[in-house]
Copies of this chain bind each other. A is one copy, B any other.
């Protein structure tokens, strides 16, 4: 069993093209022996965003703090603390912080995400801001 405050897990910058102002903590993953899926916590700075992309695996998301939106393709849908999001495999999506404080959320992925193909629209290869 692992029991830790999430803040004690080191946060790493998200260096994927198309991401701006994003950090990630891998809270539970294969290194802990987790056989099926990984629990990650993201922190997006004001004005920041995750890549606008799709991939053949799903996300399950719970918003902890802050305000923002998730783009469902081009449709913005609001995010607040307590918002739950399910992103199905191959759905185009992007998380954006539209508020004045960090947007913090949990975002889980199946272990099979490793090595899976990720499609990032061309404009996202050039980070903005």
Identify the A interface with B (CB < 8 A). Answer: 1-7, 9, 27-28, 32-37, 39, 57-58, 60, 62, 64, 70, 72, 77-80, 82-89, 91, 93, 106, 108, 110, 112
Contact = CB atoms under 8 A, between A and B. Distances in A.
Nearest to A8: B84
B1 A108 contact: no
Contacts of A2: 84-86
Q: How many copies does the complex hold?
A: 2
A57 B32 CA distance: 14
6 contacts: A1-B70, A1-B85, A5-B80, A6-B82, A32-B86, A106-B106
B62 A34 contact: no
A37 B78 CA distance: 24
A26 to B, nearest CB: 11
A86 B34 contact: yes
A84 B28 contact: yes
A24 to B, nearest CB: 14
Contact of A60 (B39, B57, B78): B39
A104 B28 CA distance: 19
The 9 closest A-B pairs by CB, nearest first: A36-B110, A2-B86, A28-B86, A37-B37, A3-B77, A39-B60, A1-B72, A27-B84, A28-B60
